[in-house]
Chain A
Amino acid sequence: MANEPDISKLLKLKRYERPPAGYFDDFLSEFQSRQRAELLHRPLMEIVWDRLSSMAPTFHVPRIAYASMAALALAASTLILTRPMAVQPSLASANASPGSLSLNSPQPVTIGQGVPVVFTSTGSPSVHYVLPARPVSYASPRSF
C-alpha cells in the first residue's frame, strides 16, 4: 500500500503519449467520409427498419415493444390467412335425407317449417324462397 501513490504517479506519465500532430483535425473528415460510404452500402433491411422506426410514434416506448407488436401482428395475419376454410366437406357433400331440402333443389324452399336446409358449396343460381306469411312491406304504411 505504501507504494500506491508512486504507481499512480508513474501511470499519470502516460498522459504525455499523444497521437501525431493534426490527428484530431483529420479524424472528423475521416469520420464523415466513412459515414457517407456506410450510407451508400447499407443493407436493405436496415433501411426498411429505419423507415419504420421513423414512422413509429415517438412515445417513450422502447423499440423492442414496436418490434414485438409488429411480429405478433404478422404471426396473427399468417395464421388467419393460412388457416383452412371452416366448411367441412363431409357436411357439404352429405346426401340430404329424403325429408330434407337442398338449395340446389328446383323445388321451392319454405323457411320456418322445421325442415333442415342443406347448403352445398356448388351453389346454383336458381334458389327460391317462399315465406309462410305475407311480407311486411305489403302492409299499409303508417303515417305519423
Chain B
Amino acid sequence: MDEPETPDAELVSRTQAGDPQAFDKLVVRYSPRLYGLVYNMTSNHEDTNDLLQDIFAKAYRAIKGFQGKSSFYTWMHSISVNMTINFLKKRNRRAALSLDDVDNGIMNDPDFIEATSDHDPRHQANLGELQKRLNEAMMKLSQEHRAVVTMFDIQGMPHSEIAKILKISEGTVRSRLFYAHRQLQNYLQEFITN
C-alpha cells in the first residue's frame, strides 16, 4: 500500500530547516510538470533541461524566503515562467527546434485522428508534420502569449491559477488567450476542421 503523499508545505518546512532530502522529493514531484511548462515554451529539449536545473537551483537558494503566502505550486510556476521568459528574451536568434518524441498513445486520440484524417490515411507520416507545425506555430507567439497558451491549453490550468502565477488579472489572461488562439488558427488552418 502506498504511503500517503507528504504535503508540499511540510516538505518546504523541512527544507527550510536544512533537510535537503525533503527538497529532493519536491524536485521529483514537480519536475515532470515544470518540464512540460518549459519545454512547450522553448520547443527545445536541451534548453529545457538546462533551464529546469537552474530553476530548481534558484528555488533551493530562495526557499528560506518562501513564506507560504502563495502555494508552493504557484511559487514554482512563477519562478519557472519568469526564468523561461528571461531566457527566451536573451536567446536572440530563433533556436532550432529540438523536439521530444511523441507518445504512441496519440494514434488513438480522436482529436489526432480528426486533425490528420483529411491529409493522409497514414497517420504516422502526418504525426511528424503536425508536431513540427504545432511547435513552429507556438514559437511565433510572443513569450507572454505562449506562456498563457501552455498553461491553459496544454497543462489544463484554470484562468485564476494562471493569473496568480503571472500576477495579472483574469481578464488579461482571457484576452491573451483569445489573441493567441486567433493567431494559432491562422498558422494551423489546414489542421482545423470547419
Contact = CB atoms under 8 A, between A and B. Distances in A.
The finding on whether chains A and B are genuine partners in a shared complex, rather than unrelated, reads yes
Interface of A: 2-4, 6-20, 23-24, 27-28, 30-32, 34-35, 38, 53, 60, 63
Contacts of B149: 11
Contact of B181 (A8, A23, A27): A8
B10 interface: no
Contact of A6 (B32, B135, B193): B193
B8 to A, nearest CB: 17
B52 to A, nearest CB: 7
B6 interface: no
Interface of B: 24, 27-28, 31-32, 35-36, 39-40, 45, 48-49, 52-53, 56-57, 60, 64-65, 67, 99-103, 105-106, 109, 111-112, 114-115, 130-131, 134-135, 138, 149, 153-154, 181, 184-185, 188, 191-194
A90 to B, nearest CB: 55
Contacts, number: 101
Contact of A12 (B24, B101, B153): B153
B140 to A, nearest CB: 14
A11 B153 contact: yes
In this complex, which of A11, A31, A63 has the most chain B Cβ atoms within 10 angstroms of its Cβ?
Answer: A11
Contact of A16 (B109, B138, B153, B184): B109
Given A10-B134, A28-B24, A31-B53, A16 B65 contact: no
**5 A-B pairs with least C-beta separation:** A11-B153, A16-B106, A9-B111, A16-B103, A17-B100
A35 B134 CA distance: 35
A10 B106 CA distance: 11
B57 A7 contact: no
B184 A11 contact: yes
B154 A3 contact: no
Given A11-B134, A11-B153, A3 B28 contact: no
B185 A17 contact: no
A14 to B, nearest CB: 5
B188 A27 contact: no
B56 to A, nearest CB: 6
A13 B28 contact: no
B37 to A, nearest CB: 12
8 contacts: A4-B181, A14-B40, A17-B103, A24-B31, A24-B35, A27-B31, A28-B24, A28-B31
